[in-house]
Structure 1
Amino acid sequence: MSTGFFGDIDPIPFEGPDSRNPMAFRHYDPDQMVMGKRMEDHLRFAVCYWHNFVWPGTDPFGGQTFDRPWFPANNMELSRHKADVAFEMFSLLRAPYFTFHDFDVKPDHDSFADNHRDLMEMRDIFAAKMQATGVKLLWGTANMFSNRRFMAGAATNPNPDVFAYAGALVKSCMEVTHSLDGENYVLWGGREGYETLLNTDLAQEDAQMGRFLNMVVEHKHKIGFTGQILIEPKPQEPTKHQYDFDVATVYGFLKRHGLENEVTVNIEQGHAILAGHTFEHEIATAAALGIFGSIDINRNDYQSGWDTDQFPNSVSEVALTYYYILQNGGFGAGGTNFDAKLRRQSIEPDDLLMAHIGGMDICAQALKAAAAMIEEGTLPDFVRDRYAGWQSAEAQAMLAGERSLDDLSARVLAEDLQPQPVSGRQEYLENIVNRYI
């Protein structure tokens, strides 16, 4: 049933690359087969609740620019209307999944009991809408950064009562996610970090965060939730330094607290850039460490030093994203969540649709390019051949700890080893990538 917010727009069709219809997909054809799998099943698109239906268009120097009929959503009537519009949008885009924070979908009360009551009501509303539309939940998460009680962190807060409150929030939101058959649960430590070392005990806060995450994992198993627990790395903003700086930092934290086999990562392109990495670096690192889970797709403005959360618009950037995801066997339970928002001057309702149409088309083009690179085999074959020497018996013995430095020295002297460099052919490989863009 139409809410009227988007006018008389029909569900977005696929019309092919020659289409000039701004309300049609040119490249995203959900049923197109790519490497033996439907495109929809490869990409697993999700539309987020927060940027689309909560953010009012503010920035550090300006106030609200979006005029939405459910703002300020400070009562359940407006929250229900917001849900009506959200699921209409998911259906128009034919998006298979959505994502949300508890804070996004209901009023925010001082009382935990009131917040829990309203979240349970929205859970039931979501369940009915999911059944009616077929839209599924990719993941849920708890907002533990917006309210002033979290100004010094949630799990890492110096006040143990805030730690306890955060634990209650996660319990509530994880159970809602589980009841809605969510496929993952995400923790984003928006304020798990520090502003100054002068008032921070790093060892204490690391111990708190480690115990908190272990409690989350323990509760996952207690309630029978089979989805992934995901951490979303981010280096800074809003804090000066966040403890989940990047994938490698998160892996070190997981190992330190015995969680490397329990928790994976949800990697965002904009956060990777803030950490001084490329998106594909973070994905490849997570895959190599065995903790790759899911992605938030967006981009940053390279002239701004903060997280601008723009919709992807470059096939060349996104193609390598999917190349490394496909090389790792695909998403599994993860997916492509559009953690992206309109520019504050894009104020019309159909701007929400066109932004996602463009982003979904970019991802579809990038997926096809990545699949072609893998199917041709030049790139993976080159890497395999480059490291082929490590398959020899002697090389394997070195890796297995069967050789000492004395052994290596003796062999170099006995065989008069004089290894010669071999070209890495970077430009040749870059040219191959560009062949598919």
Structure 2
Amino acid sequence: MTDFFAGIPKLAYEGPETDNPFAYRHYNPDEVVMGKRMEDHLRFAIAYWHSFAWEGGDPFGGQTFDRPWFGSTMDLAKLKADVAFEMFDILGAPFFCFHDADVRPEGADFAENTRNLEEIVDYFAAKMESSKTRLLWGTANLFTNRRFMSGAATNPDPDVFAWSAATVKTCMDATHKLGGENYVLWGGREGYETLLNTDLTREAEQAGAFLSMVVDYKHKIGFKGAILVEPKPQEPSKHQYDYDVATVYGFLKRFGLENEVKMNIEQGHAILAGHSFEHELSLAASLGILGSIDMNRNDYQSGWDTDQFPDNVPEVARAYYEVLKAGGFTSGGTNFDAKLRRQSLDAEDLILGHAGAMDVCARGLKAAAALLEHGGLEEARSARYAGWDKPENKAMLSSDLASIEARVKAEGINPEPVSGRQERLENLWNRFV
């Protein structure tokens, strides 16, 4: 045991009336919602990078956190793992997620990176034998090191492509060995700043070949989890190839991967793309590619990805409404891709940030489930499109313009506008949140 969380008890559900800051008011893992335990609906995961690797910097200032495990040795990496699993236990977190660079020190070359990763994976495996916490997904950090300044899979230098492919292979091996339920690819620098030095066609072909190799390797090693791509707009590159769900789906279709790859969708990224979180979730569900989510929020007064813990129950409820309507998570879950504010220095801040977010998500889930069970929103939606259920109207979708014109003339079709009743439905929604 370490002493980093000394004096902080394991959190338990005490109900909404409790004054205990170290308790759940709304997250009751065993509460049954729509026939399933709340823990099994939400499938919370702790992000290793923000919780244990982030140093508290921002674009305008450097490190503010001084953690005892900060450094570049294997002993410190193991201390970090000890603290991480202690936090998982305090929170009762069922899952965690990591990048390779979060968990192992950077080596002098690829071989040393691999040895370091394999050693820490063995350390994780031993800790997981006595922990309830499992791996939701692993991924590779292909964006922080300066070698990735022009991308990874899309880099104009084939040596960077090779390094990136080899690194993903080692990270897929690590994820598979730890029983991970998904593998994520986040193209943090798969984009460009100017077309003056960019060949869009070539870079797209490289990215398509890279992702195809990932899918092939998944099948080769017998990995049963999902391959997930995380859309990310604008930041840090001005033009990101993985801008949003629609853009990524077009990419998947182009390379014949739409049945092999799903989406890991982040709230903050959806906002940066000019969408709502629920739009991205609904679109992914309609395309059959909704996999998992990163739950966080942006500061709406800032123009960048601030990765704050969620605190807006109505927003969260809209997200979970789409998840529940799509049938809920299978291998995916709710990863807190969120970090403390750089002024929040204490160990208890790390616990309370997650605890509050878990309560917000629990409230959002219950509100979404109650509205789905009420059925009013879906009834109104069905009524709005009811005309399309008539055989003569369905037939139009496989007809032709001349035949439809003839029908309009013969039947004297002369439509009048029909209210969308948005305010009525907003009032209905607000009854539940």
When structure 1 is superposed on structure 2, of 77-86 and 414-423 the one drifting more is 414-423
How many angstroms apart in 2 are the aligned matches of 1:413 and 1:123? 71
User: How many aligned positions are there?
Assistant: 433
Name the aligned partner's letter for residue 30 of structure 1: P
Q: 2:415 aligns with which of 414, 419, 430?
A: 419
Quote the offset at 1:110 in angstroms.
2.8
Per the alignment, residue 223 of structure 1 pairs with: 221
Quote the offset at 1:200 in angstroms.
0.4
Per the alignment, residue 359 of structure 1 pairs with: 357
Per the alignment, residue 243 of structure 1 pairs with: 241
Quote the offset at 1:395 in angstroms.
2.0
When structure 1 is superposed on structure 2, of 275-284 and 3-12 the one drifting more is 3-12
How many angstroms apart in 1 are the aligned matches of 2:126 and 2:418? 61
Name the aligned partner's letter for residue 300 of structure 1: N
Calculate the TM-score normalised by the size of structure 2.
0.99
How many angstroms apart in 1 are the aligned matches of 2:391 and 2:235? 49
Quote the offset at 1:266 in angstroms.
0.3
- Residue identity over aligned pairs, in percent, reads 66
How many angstroms apart in 2 are the aligned matches of 1:193 and 1:69? 36
Residue deviations 1:81-111 (CA, integer Å, cap 9, x gap): 0000000001100000000000000101131
Q: Does 1:47 align with 2:43?
A: no
How many angstroms apart in 1 are the aligned matches of 2:387 and 2:108? 63
Per the alignment, residue 163 of structure 1 pairs with: 161
Q: 1:386 aligns with which of 377, 384, 387?
A: 384
Q: 2:329 aligns with which of 325, 328, 331?
A: 331
Per the alignment, residue 17 of structure 1 pairs with: 16
Residue deviations 1:31-60 (CA, integer Å, cap 9, x gap): 000000000000000001000100100111
Per the alignment, residue 288 of structure 2 pairs with: 290
Quote the offset at 1:236 in angstroms.
1.2
Partner-residue secondary structure (3-state), 2:129 = helix
Q: Tell me if structure 1 keeps the 8 A contact 2:104–2:120.
A: yes
Quote the offset at 1:396 in angstroms.
1.9
Q: What residue ranges of structure 2 are gaps of 5+ in the alignment?
A: none
How many angstroms apart in 1 are the aligned matches of 2:282 and 2:49? 28
Name the aligned partner's letter for residue 56 of structure 2: G
Quote the offset at 1:206 in angstroms.
0.5
Name the aligned partner's letter for residue 108 of structure 1: E
Partner-residue secondary structure (3-state), 2:130 = helix
Per the alignment, residue 401 of structure 2 pairs with: 405
When structure 1 is superposed on structure 2, of 389-398 and 18-27 the one drifting more is 389-398
Q: What is the CA RMSD across the aligned residues, in angstroms?
A: 0.7
Q: Does 1:436 align with 2:432?
A: yes
Quote the offset at 1:161 in angstroms.
1.1
Q: 1:268 aligns with which of 266, 269, 273?
A: 266
Residue deviations 1:389-412 (CA, integer Å, cap 9, x gap): 11111222222x2x1100000000
Per the alignment, residue 85 of structure 1 pairs with: 83
How many angstroms apart in 2 are the aligned matches of 1:20 and 1:317? 25
Residue deviations 1:315-337 (CA, integer Å, cap 9, x gap): 01100100010000001110000
Name the aligned partner's letter for residue 12 of structure 2: P
Residue deviations 1:249-299 (CA, integer Å, cap 9, x gap): 000000000000000000000000000000000000000111100000000
How many angstroms apart in 2 are the aligned matches of 1:395 and 1:267? 35
How many angstroms apart in 2 are the aligned matches of 1:291 and 1:379? 24
Partner-residue secondary structure (3-state), 1:132 = coil
Q: Tell me if structure 1 keeps the 8 A contact 2:107–2:116.
A: no
Q: What residue ranges of structure 1 are gaps of 5+ in the alignment?
A: none
**How do residues 34-183 of structure 1 correspond to structure 2 at under 5 angstroms?**
34-72=33-71, 74-183=72-181
Quote the offset at 1:128 in angstroms.
1.0
Q: Tell me if structure 1 keeps the 8 A contact 2:154–2:190.
A: yes
Calculate the TM-score normalised by the size of structure 1.
0.98
Name the aligned partner's letter for residue 299 of structure 2: D
**How do residues 296-335 of structure 1 correspond to structure 2 at under 5 angstroms?**
296-335=294-333
